Amino acid sequence: MRIAVLADVHGNLPALAAVLSHLEAQGGAEEIWVLGDLTVFCPYPLQVLERLTALPRVRFLQGNTDRYLVTGERPRKIADDEAQWEGMATLLEERDGNFRWTFERLDYRWYAFLRDLPYLQRSDVADYGAILGAHASFVSDELGVWAATTNGELRDLLGGIDARLLLCGHTHHQLERSLGQTSVVNPGSVGLPLDGDQRAAYAILDLEGGDCQVALHRVDYDVDEVIARLEEVGHPAGKWVGTRLHLAAHP
């Protein structure tokens, strides 16, 4: 069985299209798991939803930005010093404008789709075992698994869940590690990588004979096209998003 794992598309249609073309060139997949954060930040939220939901055999999860979008909640922002405080008003304006801009481009059908996405997914694969997916971790959609996460911290983030393979996103960094008999895979971000590599990221899992072969892929796409589109549409957080697309990192 082959599973493609995508996460953190963030409304980036050119990146998604490049990933899907690359996946097709690899022979496709029997299932696609999309681990949340589908629309917010980049300028193609509706087109991304249409493209993803047109695919066969897709399992979706709700990410933290999907939750913020449908509930009106917002990510917390606290100034640690006076210099940060002086820029807080602009940051809060960009943050709220970003979610509002995306919200206004969706009708109720898409709102309900995002609202009703599950927090967890599970698949029991014959001759392999249980595969579980969550956006960030199994205790929170905001606490992700990093390379620097200790085994003790990882054990806490798994929340007592017992599975052969755990899939998670949120950090925008690709990752493959294990804890005992459990493997953890983060495919990285399709639409907004933050690991210093602009290329779209995703993973392909090949499960056969009780084993799982993980391939972490990177795919080129036209980043400048997305940055230009942010400016064309007057995206309220266009500069913030464009900088991160260009650097593939937090400045």
Assigned token pair, 173:
């960094």
* Ranges of each domain in the chain: 2-247
The C-alpha atoms of residue 201 and residue 221 are separated, in whole angstroms, by: 11
pLDDT tens digits, 89-144: 666 667 788 999 999 999 999 999 999 999 999 999 988 999 999 999 999 999 99
Cα distance between residue 228 and residue 48, in whole Å = 18
The 10s digit of each residue's pLDDT in 150-167 is 999 998 988 888 899 999
What's this model's pTM, rounded to 2 decimal places? 0.94
Distance CA 88, CA 4 (A): 39
Per the model's pLDDT, the better-predicted residue between 95 and 210 turns out to be 210
Q: Contact 129/163 with Cβ under 8 angstroms?
A: yes
CA distances from 54 to 19, 50, 51, 164, 188 (A): 15, 6, 5, 29, 22
Distances (CA, A) of 139 to 155, 157, 159, 164, 230: 11, 6, 6, 18, 34
User: Is 2-247 a CATH 2.60.40.10 domain?
Assistant: no
